[in-house]
Amino acid sequence: MNLSRRKFLQTSVLIGFAVATKKGWANKLPTLAIERRDLFPQGVASGDPTANSVILWTRRPPAKDSLAKKLIVEISTTPEFKKVLAGGTAHISADSDWTCRFLTTDLKPNREYWYRFIDEHGFASRVGRTITAPSDDSDAPVRFTFVCCQCPNEGALNAYRKMIFEDEARPKDQQLNFVLHLGDFIYEVTWYAEDNPNGNRGRRIRDLYKFPQGRKVSNFHLPVTLEDYRTLYRAYLEDPDLQDARARWPFVCIWDNHEFAWAGYQSQYVAGGGYNAPAQHQKIFANQAWWEVMPAMVQQPGNPKLVHFIAPVVVDTPMEQFNADGLSEEPNNLLAIHSLKIQRVLRWGRNVDLLLTDNWSFRSPDMSSDDFDVPEYPRVSLQVPFEIMNYGRHYNDDNPPDTIRFKGKDIPNPTKNVHAQTYLGSEQRSWFLEQLGASTARWKIWGHGFGTMEVRSDYQNLPGELGSQWPKDAGYAVIDNRFLRDKDIIFDFIRDQKITGFCVVGGDRHAFHAGLASKALPPRKYEPLGVEFIVGSISQQTLFEVMEVTMKKDHPKRVLHLIDQADGKVIPSMNVTALHGVLSTLKLQETGDMEQARSVRNVDVAPHLSLVDFGGHGYALVTATSDQLSTEFVCIPIPFERSGRPDGGPLNYRVVHHTRLWKAGEAPKLEQEILEGNPQYCI
C-alpha cells in the first residue's frame, strides 16, 4: 500500500488537457456574445471535479456558413457573467469531432461556478453550471445521484427532468454535488423503425440516427466505424433532458458494455443474432468516441498530454490463447484495450473517495458450457454447475472436479483447466485493492458497472409439479451472480484489512437492489462487509417489462415471475421469489396478500437484500455525512414517452436506506424508510 491515494490524484491532475485556465483572465469583462444554442447542438458539460479544478466540455461543429476553430472559455461566479473569474482559449478541429475539453484550475473548493464557450464570431453556447469538490479536510456532506442505462431512441429520459426539478427545489446547501453515470450511456445496438414497424418489444422506435456505415445483424444494426460511434453520441446528446442535466451538474462517467459492444470481452465483439468477431478497431473507435464526449480525467498510456486521442494502429485479429488470468496477450488486443484507461479515484473531502473501475476491457472470455441449462426454468442457472464453471481451475481451493453431476449424468467439467471468470483482470484488481487500502475517506464508494450482489431463489423448495424438473443437488436457482473469484479476493481483503465504510453503487441490471455486501450466502458463511445499492435504469427495458411482453400467459413457471390479477394488472412476483423464496410467491398467488407471503419466507434465500425491484426505473440519491450514508431510490413509471411536466412526470415510490458508519469488526446495518408510494412487492 505504498502508493498513496493522494499521489495518484496529483499525478492524474497533471495529465494533460488541450488547455488550462490562464491566470490574468480574472476580473476581465465578459466577451460580447450572442447565445446561439443551435451552433452547440450537444450543449455543454463538466466533469470529474476536484477541490480546485473541473473539466469543461462542449462541441462546436461547422454549420452551413459558420466554421469555428477557436473557442474562448469563460468562468464566472454568477450565471449572468457580470465578471469573468477565469478563462482561456481552446482550439477545436475535426480530429476530435469539434469537441473541446478544457481543464479549469485554481478554483475554490465546494463552490458553484458558471461557464460558457464563445467562438471567434461572437456566438456563445448556453451557460453551464458546475460545482467543485470540498477541500480534502472538509467534513461537508456529499450528495450525488447515480444512474445508468439510457436509450432515448426507445424511451424518454424523464428521470433527469425529475432530478433537475427536485434539485432546483432544494436549499442551496443541500443540492447535488455531482451525477455518477455508471454506463450504458449509449446503446450501440440499434433497432431501426423500418425493420421493426411494430417497435421493439413494446417500445416505440424514434430513429434518432442511422449509422453512416453500420452493420445489419438479424433485425438490428451495430456500429462499425468511428463515425458510427460518434453519430450515436451526437444524437443522444441532443436529448433535452440529458442536455439540461449535463449543463447543471458535473458528471462522473465510467462505461458499461454498450459503450462498445452488446456483449463481449476485451476487444471481442459479441452480440445477439450469433454475431461474434474480433474487433480491435471497433474497441479503439468506441474508446475514442467516449473520450471525445466525456469530460473525464482519464489517461491514454503513452500519450501523457492527451491533447488528442492517439488511435493505435491495429489489425482485427482473433484471440486464441488466454493466460492464467483470462487475458489475451495478442498484441492487437493489448493495444486496443489499453487505448484508454478509465479506472480512477476521485475525492470529495473527508467523507467520500469514489473508486471507479473498468469492468469490460480486461474481462475474461466465458468458458462455461450450456450443457447445464434448464430451459424449463427461464432466466436462472443451477447454482452448483454455475459456481464450478465460474471459478474454473480455482474451484474448491484449486481442486475442481473432473465431472459435474447433471440430471443423473456425470458430464465432463469444461472449465477444469481454465481461468476463473474475471472482470477486473489481475492488474486492475491489484490497483483497486491498493487504492481501497490507502483510502482515508469515511466512505469508500465503488462506482461499479453492475454491482457484486448475488440474487437467487430456492427452487429446490418448489413443491409438486412446479419443482419436478429442478435437478436434484443443483442447489439454488441463480438469478444473478458474477465473477466469484474477484469477489472472494476483494471481500477477503476488506475483512483482513478491517476496512469500514465500504459501499458499492452499481447499475446495469435494470433493477433496483438494496442490501448488504457479502462474499457468500447461507449455508456458507454470511458476513456483511459493506452496503450495496443497484440503481434501476433511466429508460431501458426492465426484466419485468420484458417478461410481461414475452412470457406466455400459460407458461407453467409463470407464477415465479408474474402473477396475473383479475383486473389485468400483473404483480412482479419475480421480486418476491428473489427476496423471500418460492413459498412466499405461492402464498402471494393464493392470498394476494404480501404480509401473508412474507410470513412464510425462507430467511436463508436473501438475508442480505432489503429491496428488489425488477421493474423500476429512475435514479438513486446518496447523501454521505461523517457518520451516516443514506441512499434514496426515486422510482418512476416506465418512460414510454417524454413527460411534458416540469417535474418529469409521476413517481412510483421513494425509499431511503440509512447506514451508520460502522467500526472495524462491526457489521454494517441498513435501516429502511418508505418516504412516498407503496413498494409492497419490492420489500
- Cβ atoms of 544 and 574 within 8 Å: the answer is yes
- Min dist CB 612 to Fe ion, Å, is 17
Alpha carbon distance 637, 521 (integer Å): 32
Going through 449-562 in order, the beta strands assigned E by DSSP cover 455-457, 477-480, 502-506, 512-518, 528-534
| DSSP secondary structure, 654-666, as one string | EEEEEEEPPPTTS
151 binds Fe ion (CB under 5 A): no
Q: Which is nearer to Fe ion, 149 or 560 (CB)?
A: 149
Pick out residues in 83-102 that bind Fe ion (CB under 5 A).
Answer: none
Q: How far is the CB of 618 from Fe ion (least distance, A)?
A: 14
CA gap 342, 51 in Å, rounded = 20
Please state the closest distance from residue 245 (CB atom) to Fe ion, in A.
18
Give the side-chain half-sphere CA count within 13 A for 527.
13
Residue at grid coordinates 470540498: 134
Within 102-141, the residues that bind Fe ion by CB under 5 A are: none
Identify which range of 144-152, 326-334, 580-588, 654-662 contacts Fe ion by CB under 5 A. Answer: 144-152
Q: For the CB of residue 256, give the shortest distance to Fe ion in the complex, in Å.
A: 6
For Fe ion, give the closer residue by CB, 184 or 188.
184
Interacting positions 30-59 with Fe ion (CB under 5 A): none
From residue 592, give the alpha-carbon distance in Å to each of 50, 398, 586, 598, 683: 51, 47, 10, 12, 15
Question: 523: cis peptide before it, omega within 30°?
Answer: yes
Residues in binding contact with Fe ion, number by CB under 5 A:
2
Residue 147 CB, shortest distance to Fe ion, in Å, is: 11
- Shortest distance, position 188 Cβ to Fe ion, whole Å: 11
Q: Which stretch binds Fe ion (CB under 5 A): 9-17, 146-154, 234-242, 469-477?
A: 146-154
Q: How far is the CB of 125 from Fe ion (least distance, A)?
A: 30
Q: Which stretch binds Fe ion (CB under 5 A): 143-151, 204-212, 408-416, 517-525?
A: 143-151
Asked whether the beta carbons of 181 and 293 are under 8 A apart, the reply is no
* Pairing outcome for strands 178-181 and 250-253: parallel
Q: Looking at 118-126, 179-187, 246-254, 637-645, which segment touches Fe ion (CB under 5 A)? A: 179-187
| Interface segment toward Fe ion; rule CB under 5 A; list 180-188, 219-227, 419-427, 474-482 | 180-188
Minimum CB–partner distance for residue 451 and Fe ion (Å): 12
**Shortest Cβ distance from residue 508 to Fe ion (Å)?**
5
- Span between the terminal Cα atoms of the chain, in Å: 40
Q: What is the DSSP letter of 57?
A: E
Q: Which is nearer to Fe ion, 184 or 532 (CB)?
A: 184
* 641 neighbors 617 (Cβ within 8 angstroms): no
Smallest distance, Fe ion to C-beta of residue 614, A? 14
**Strand order, beta sheet including 381-382:** 381-382, 477-480, 455-457
Of 39 and 156, CB closest to Fe ion: 156
Neighbours of 374 (CB within 10 A): 18
Give the nearer residue to Fe ion in terms of CB position, either 182 or 354.
182
Span of 96-104, 147-155, 165-173, 599-607 interacting with Fe ion by CB under 5 A: 147-155
- Nearest approach in angstroms of CB 184 to Fe ion is 4
> Which residues fall within 8 angstroms of residue 94, CB to CB, at 6 or more apart?
none
Q: CB of residue 507 vs Fe ion: minimum separation in angstroms? A: 7
Of residues 154 and 184, the one with the C-beta less far from Fe ion: 184
Indicate if the alpha-carbon torsion angle 273, 205, 165, 636 is positive or negative: negative
Smallest separation, CB 149 to Fe ion (Å): 4
Return the bridge partners of 84, or none.
Answer: 28
Q: Give the interface segment with Fe ion, choosing from 142-150, 281-289, 492-500, 567-575 (CB under 5 A).
A: 142-150
In the bound state with Fe ion, the residue whose beta carbon lies nearer, of 547 and 576, is: 547
Q: Which is nearer to Fe ion, 184 or 239 (CB)?
A: 184
Considering the complex, state which of residue 184 and residue 241 has its C-beta at the smaller distance from Fe ion: 184
Sequence-separated (6 or more) residues with CB below 8 Å from residue 202: 545, 549
Q: Which is nearer to Fe ion, 184 or 613 (CB)?
A: 184
Residue 24 gets the label, from left (phi > 0), alpha (psi -120 to 50) or beta, of left
Among residues 154, 184, 239, 454, the one that binds Fe ion under rule CB under 5 A = 184
CB 613, min distance to Fe ion, A: 16
Q: What are the backbone angles phi and psi of residue 84, rounded to the nearest 5°?
A: -95, 130
Q: Output 263 or 651, the one with its CB closest to Fe ion.
A: 263
- Residue closer to Fe ion by CB (options 309, 533) is 533
Q: How many other C-beta atoms can be found within 10 angstroms of the C-beta atom of residue 100?
A: 26
Residues whose CB falls within 8 Å of the CB of residue 30, separated by 6 or more in sequence, listed in order: 74, 76, 81, 82, 83, 84
- Assess contact for 508 and 486: CB atoms under 8 A: no
When the beta carbons of 351 and 537 are compared against Fe ion, the nearer one is 537
Residue-wise over 197-216: b if at least 16 C-beta within 10 A, else e? eeebeebebeebbebeebbe
Minimal distance in Å, beta carbon 155 to Fe ion? 12
Comparing CB distances to Fe ion, the nearer of 100 and 149 is 149
Q: How far is the CB of 229 from Fe ion (least distance, A)?
A: 17
Per-residue binder mask for Fe ion (CB under 5 A), 542-571, x = binder: ------------------------------
DSSP 28: B
Among 33, 124, 149, 634, binds Fe ion (CB under 5 A): 149
The residue written with cell numbers 401473508 in the block is 596
> Which one, 182 or 605, has the nearer CB to Fe ion?
182
The one segment of 35-43, 127-135, 178-186, 578-586 that binds Fe ion by CB under 5 A = 178-186
3-state secondary structure 107-163: CCCCCEEEEEEEECCCEECCCEEEECCCCCCCCCCEEEEEECCCCCCCCCCHHHHHH
Considering the complex, state which of residue 9 and residue 186 has its C-beta at the smaller distance from Fe ion: 186
Q: How far apart are CA 207 and CA 541, in angstroms?
A: 17
DSSP characters for 312-351?
Answer: ------------TTS----HHHHHHHTS-B--EEEEETTT
Residue ranges binding Fe ion (CB under 5 A) = 149, 184
